[in-house]
Amino acid sequence: MQNLIFRPMVQADRDEIQKFYDDMGEQSAAFFNVNRGNERRTMEFFENGKPDHRFFVAEDGGTVAGLLFIWDIDRALPWLGIAVRDDYQGRGVGGFLLRSLFDLLKSRGYGGLILRTAKNNTGAQRLYEKMGFERVGEHPSGELLYIKRFEMGEPLA
Ligand SMILES: CC(C)(COP(=O)(O)OP(=O)(O)OC[C@H]1O[C@@H](n2cnc3c(N)ncnc32)[C@H](O)[C@@H]1OP(=O)(O)O)[C@@H](O)C(=O)NCCC(=O)NCCS
């Protein structure tokens, strides 16, 4: 993927983001959009700005190839959600989104990220582990819990 752009989601993305969710296949929706929860969460941005969240997209010439969002942004370790369009999966978009987010969050002094994923979502787990997330156990929901901890410039003296 040569021409991907990482940028914050903006109001003008509304139709393209709705299309992103409308086009999502059964398998991806089962992992990412149970009861349309993440769709509602994302579309709320267009209603009220969803101020406790931050949304970002990977854009490929007008198409939203993938998106991610973080919440609990007042914590050193916010929660993460990520999804890539079915027809863009396996082409490096997820890795690009995560690397871009890591750079941004590090530059703002964040400590890392935390996420939950379904036990049978082995594809996502491979991506997370490749990107330096550590599997730390099980969330009370029964999903797996992963943490990414950013490196510090200088350890405590
Ligand atoms: C999981 C997801 C975000 C990964 O994004 P992606 O763009 O497909 O991932 P990438 O192409 O950047 O893959 C990076 C690495 O992760 C691994 N990987 C990602 N998805 C994989 C899959 N479905 N099966 C096997 N390996 C996978 C690959 O090994 C790849 O490593 P490689 O470059 O050495 O081959 C994407 O497949 C997706 O949106 N899935 C549906 C929604 C979802 O599950 N979201 C996460 C909910 S917790």
Domain spans of the chain, in order of start: 5-149
- 89 pLDDT more than 80: yes
Mean pLDDT value across residues 137-156: 92
- 82 pLDDT more than 90: yes
- How far apart CA 67 and CA 93 sit, in angstroms, is 9
Instruction: List the structure tokens of 35.
Output: 């009861």
Pocket flag, ligand 1, residue 42 (CB < 6 Å): no
- 2 pLDDT more than 80: no
Pocket flag, ligand 1, residue 69 (CB < 6 Å): no
Q: How many residues does the chain have?
A: 157
- How far apart CA 95 and CA 13 sit, in angstroms, is 22
- How far apart CA 102 and CA 121 sit, in angstroms, is 22
Atom 8 of ligand 1: nearest residue by CA position: 89
pTM for this model (two decimals): 0.96
Position 155 confidence tier, pLDDT thresholds 50, 70, 90: confident
Residue 9: helix, strand or coil by DSSP? coil
Architecture in CATH for domain 5-149: 3-Layer(aba) Sandwich (3.40)
Position 156 confidence tier, pLDDT thresholds 50, 70, 90: confident
